[in-house]
Amino acid sequence: MKIRTFSAMIPAVLLIAAAVAAQPVTVENLEAQDSPDDAGGAVELLWSLSEGTDFPDSITVLRRAPDGSMELVGTKPGVSTGHVDTGLENGREYGYLVRVHRGGEVAAEHGPVSAVPAAQWLHSKRWGMLLILIVLAGFILYFIEQGKKGKELYIRQIAGLAAVDDAVGRATEMGRPVLYVPGIMDMDNIQTIASMVILGRVAARTAKFGSPLLVPVSKSVVLSVSQEVVKEAYLEAGRPDAYQSDNIFYLTDDQFGYAAGVDGIMVRERPAAIFLLGTFYAESLILAETGRSVGAIQIAGTAMPSQLPFFIAACDYTLIGEELFAASAYLSREPKLLGSLKGQDVAKLFFIAVIVLGVLAFTLGDLWEPANEVAGFIRSLTRVE
Amino acid sequence: MRLYVPLAITFIAGMIMILEFFIPHQPFPTLGDGVKDWYTIVASSAIFLGVLNLLRVHLKKIARRRKHWRYSPVTIIGFLSMFITGVAWGVTEETPFYYLFNEMVVPMGATMFSLLAFFVASAAFRAFRASNWRASLLLASAFLVMLGRVPIGDIIWRWIPGAAESSHPYLVSEIAEWIMQVPNMAGQRAILIGAAMGVVATSLRMIFGIERSYLGGGD
Amino acid sequence: MKKLLERIGNVDRRIIFILMALAVIVPLALELTMEMPVGEGPSYDLYEYVEDLPADSRVLMSFDYDPSTKPELQPMARALVTHMMSNDVNIVAMALWPQGATLGQTILSSVSDSLGTEQYQDWVNLGYKTGGQVLIVRLGSSLEAAFPTDLEEVPYGEIPMLSDISTLRDFDLVITLSAGDPGIPAWVMIASDRFGVPVGGGCTAVSAPQFYPYLQEREGERPQMEGLLGGLRGAADYETLIERPGLAAAGMSAQSIAHLVIMVFIVIGNITFFATGRKKRTKGGGR
């Protein structure tokens, strides 16, 4: 009996579904609100679309002008569900209508709705990022203070940085130059900045030992900074006469043009020590293999995960990721810099704890509701919009 | 003065960009847009610095007949060809610049990139050793991914009797995809998080003037 | 035997280069083809997303690469542009890399000629602007301020298809074909995370693993990237899915043989290493 009744219902259900699908889709639940998290001057109109597949040709948004007439402020595709009206005055109320168009005519009109645009002082969806930044900065500044107070701060040995002196010494003994390649990105890249720090130390060593230092660069601003860094290093080492500005030169912005140029320098000049420190992309293996073929000792370092395997395979020493950023602290042993490194490590422990907590909460969420809430909180903390 | 002015500029610009990210209210968006526009202007202008240096270094090399000076005219002729044709006839389709770009620059760049195929082979032959269990695991994963990322991995799998009709007819590419989506993703995330923290710490040190080496001077 | 293995282990790398060259050239010369099924994965996800875009959708396509990576990225650019133009999706092209604009123009004009679409009605190339990530943020407030004219110096306001596009939020999808920086991470951080615009991408094979975290499904939200074409395989997958095999599909046979040859080299290298009892001292960071 039940099966027969159910079978009889199927055609009716199908007819109803077909009828719904055939109904023209229209706008529902229209609302206007101040556009959130902005400097004001914008109102957000949101609506949903009714069930069906027969979408309108277009949806227009009209705003009430000061003289009371309606002016067109936006034309959206028939599948859209919102519009942001910009260029408005904060504190003034704006009224809107939304029209649905089919076949060149207005099929329906919705509204009026109104809202008052305003500016916000704090981005509501970035509070988590602000908290994380405060925690991270807090740890770093705390340990910098500890370092300034003379507290002993341990840093493990980093083989690549410990080998800098040996590499430059080898070049001096062999009477061959040192080649320093600071990567292919500009000074706005943190890895390039970290590379400039190490360049200063390497330049100090080459000034002391009297080895020529060649620095081919790929970006003009990096050229200026490199020249300043090396000049200062030579001045501080008491060897201003040994500084040669022509040894620090621009090649090209083009990635593989730069790789070809550096390869040419390696093959012609045959440096005894090669430093590949900074941001590298696909040219990393080309540079490292050519450097190996000329018999140089190679110290590489980058935070590019895709290039690290190539450097590890082809170079004698590789600074992996954060080791590159730790170089300034490691080489100078300055308490403030060591302190910031320590603070970074402690902050990392904190984030590991947050990650483990989040993973556990999310995993247990199906079995225990409070765990779901913890997972949701951690997710909102780490989301950026 | 020489040190304090750049430090002040770094601090102000850095703080504007941080505050602009968290505070939508004016004047921070305008200040942020201004910093970004200035950055675009400075970056564009800096191109001339590099060009002038390139010409100066190579002309000097030619004039003084330094070691390997014969390569310098080639560099200068190449640079001038692209520059003059681009300025004189534009860079759109069917101009001399476009022809030089398509027929010379593009193939030369692709040639340099294709060197990687040879260097990967020689580096793999020399360096990939199963010297301990970690290296062996790495090698096994590398083999599976290399086979799974090209059609031949599944073709070899389907030669096995019954494999094509099994519930996993494309098992090798499925394993390769799993390696990419699970262990690889975990490792990539860890490196990304560590590097990102290094970036934040270095940036904070620079903004607050603790890190000054990039300015070229001492304390 | 040990001496022979030692000699093999110390083989001149030029012999390796010759064998690699043959491994790539011979399959291409013989026009070897292979069956290429496309399963579920990032390539299929991107295809599906683009396929589901309604007619007259607006896609911002950024050509963020240069000639050196053209062999990997240009085939996927052609496949994507062909797919979108065939489905009446409007394309606004731009570039964050200087040569990307010209490379993009080559694809757009040739596909447009073959499919009969019109510049300024169905597609436009805004060209290259410096700035990278900073430029992308600028697009979030005003496209016209960032690109006052297109590649051919036509003012923004005179281009019909841009009349109702003012910011990044007006796009239904952003596709970036990226060979480095600026590229996918910048677009994901700004366009997807900050402005909520869906992002899809293509990249070189060596970079693909680092972008997999962006593809992960998130509960209650869309992923940071809708799909990813990784290297020549990704391009070949897309060509297969749109049923227009091209350069990428043809290159798969050569890549397959090359991968096999590299694996053979690795095996031979390990055999000689263990057989000669050589222990090579290795150094490196973090150890």
Is C203 within the bounds of a domain? yes
- The rounded percent of chain B whose pLDDT value lies above 90 is 21
Q: Are residues C58 and C183 in the same domain?
A: yes
pLDDT over 80 (residue C198): yes
Residue C287 has a pLDDT of: 32
**SS3 call for A58:** strand
Number of domains chain C contains: 2
- Rg of chain A over Cα atoms, rounded to whole angstroms, equals 32
Residue A116 has a pLDDT of: 95
Token readout for B143 is: 């083999």
Residue of chain C with shortest Cα separation from A281: C180
Q: Are residues C140 and C156 in the same domain?
A: yes
Q: What CATH number is given to the structural domain containing C117?
A: 3.40.50
pLDDT over 70 (residue B69): yes
Q: Are residues C232 and C257 in the same domain?
A: no
A39-89 pLDDT, tens digit per residue, is 889 999 999 988 887 888 889 999 999 888 999 998 887 878 888 898 899
- Say yes or no for a CB contact (<8 Å) between C16 and B125: yes
Q: Are residues C17 and C51 in the same domain?
A: no
Domain with CATH 2.60.40.10 in chain A: 11-115
Q: Are residues C114 and C221 in the same domain?
A: yes
Q: Are residues C6 and C49 in the same domain?
A: no
Mean pLDDT over the full length of chain A: 88
Torsions phi, psi of A177, nearest 5? -75, 170
First and final C-alpha spacing in chain B:
12
- Say yes or no for a CB contact (<8 Å) between B130 and C270: yes
Distance from CA of C87 to the nearest CA of B (A): 26
What is the band of B161 on the pLDDT scale with cuts at 50, 70, 90?
Answer: very high
State the residue range of the domain holding C12. Answer: 2-31+253-284
* A:3-42 residues touching chain B, CB 8 A cutoff: 37-40
Of A121 and B193, which is predicted with more confidence? Answer: A121
Instruction: Kindly state the average pLDDT of the residues C223-241.
Output: 93
Q: Are residues C84 and C107 in the same domain?
A: yes
- Say yes or no for a CB contact (<8 Å) between A281 and C179: yes
Is C37 within the bounds of a domain? no
Q: Are residues C48 and C151 in the same domain?
A: yes
What is the band of B90 on the pLDDT scale with cuts at 50, 70, 90?
Answer: confident
For residues A64 and B145, what is the distance between their CA atoms, to the nearest angstrom? Answer: 61
Of A259 and B38, which is predicted with more confidence? Answer: A259
Residue B118 has a pLDDT of: 92
Q: Which residues of chain C have a CB within 8 Å of the CB of B44?
A: 130
- Which range of A7-21, C109-123, C197-211 scores highest in mean pLDDT? It is C109-123
A122-181 pLDDT, tens digit per residue, is 888 888 888 888 888 898 888 888 888 888 778 888 888 889 889 999 999 999 999 999
Residue of chain B with shortest Cα separation from A283: B113
pLDDT over 80 (residue A7): no
Q: Which residues of chain A have a CB within 8 Å of the CB of B126?
A: 313
Q: Are residues C109 and C65 in the same domain?
A: yes
Token readout for B194 is: 């560590």
CATH number for domain A164-315, candidates 1.10.1740, 1.10.3470, 2.60.200, 3.40.50: 3.40.50
Instruction: Kindly state the average pLDDT of the residues B135-162.
Output: 89
pLDDT over 50 (residue B102): yes
Is C36 within the bounds of a domain? no
Q: Are residues C56 and C131 in the same domain?
A: yes
Q: What b-and-e string marks burial along C235-260, b requiring 16 or more CB atoms within 10 Å of the CB? A: bbbbbbbbeeebebbbbbbbbbbbbb
pLDDT over 70 (residue A13): no
- Select from B24, B54, B120 the Cβ nearest to the Cβ of A38: B24
Instruction: Kindly state the average pLDDT of the residues A295-324.
Output: 90
Residue A1 has a pLDDT of: 40
Task: Please report where in the chains the tokens 């200062």 appear, as a residue.
Answer: A232
Distance from CA of C194 to the nearest CA of A (A): 4
pLDDT over 80 (residue C59): yes
C79-111 pLDDT, tens digit per residue, is 999 999 999 999 999 999 988 998 999 999 999
What is the band of C285 on the pLDDT scale with cuts at 50, 70, 90?
Answer: very low
Domain with CATH 3.40.50 in chain A: 164-315
> pTM score > 0.90 for this model?
no
Domain A11-115: give its CATH code: 2.60.40.10
Please choose, from the candidates A324, A327, A330, A332, the residue with its C-alpha nearest in 3D space to the C-alpha of residue A307: A324
Residues 6+ apart with CB under 8 A from C144: C156, C157, C162, C166
Q: Which residues of chain B have a CB within 8 Å of the CB of A123?
A: 21-24
What is the band of C286 on the pLDDT scale with cuts at 50, 70, 90?
Answer: very low
Residue of chain C with shortest Cα separation from A310: C206
Q: Is the ipTM of this complex over 0.90?
A: no
Cβ pairs bridging B and C (under 8 Å): 147
What is the band of A344 on the pLDDT scale with cuts at 50, 70, 90?
Answer: confident
pLDDT over 80 (residue C52): yes
Is C111 within the bounds of a domain? yes
Asked whether B38 and A181 are in contact (CB, 8 A), the reply is: no
- Say yes or no for a CB contact (<8 Å) between A75 and C164: yes
Please choose, from the candidates B44, B210, B201, B188, the residue with its C-alpha nearest in 3D space to the C-alpha of residue A190: B201
Residue B219 has a pLDDT of: 43
Q: Are residues C182 and C277 in the same domain?
A: no
Cis peptide before C27 (omega within 30 of 0): no
User: Which of B44, B59, B115 is best to mutate for the A interface (most A CBs within 10 A)?
Assistant: B115
Q: Are residues C82 and C158 in the same domain?
A: yes
Residue C91 has a pLDDT of: 97
Is C104 within the bounds of a domain? yes
Instruction: Kindly state the average pLDDT of the residues A354-378.
Output: 88
- Select from C212, C233, C280 the Cβ nearest to the Cβ of B181: C212
What is the band of A8 on the pLDDT scale with cuts at 50, 70, 90?
Answer: low
C120-164 pLDDT, tens digit per residue, is 999 999 999 988 888 998 898 789 989 999 998 999 999 999 988
Residue A4 has a pLDDT of: 47
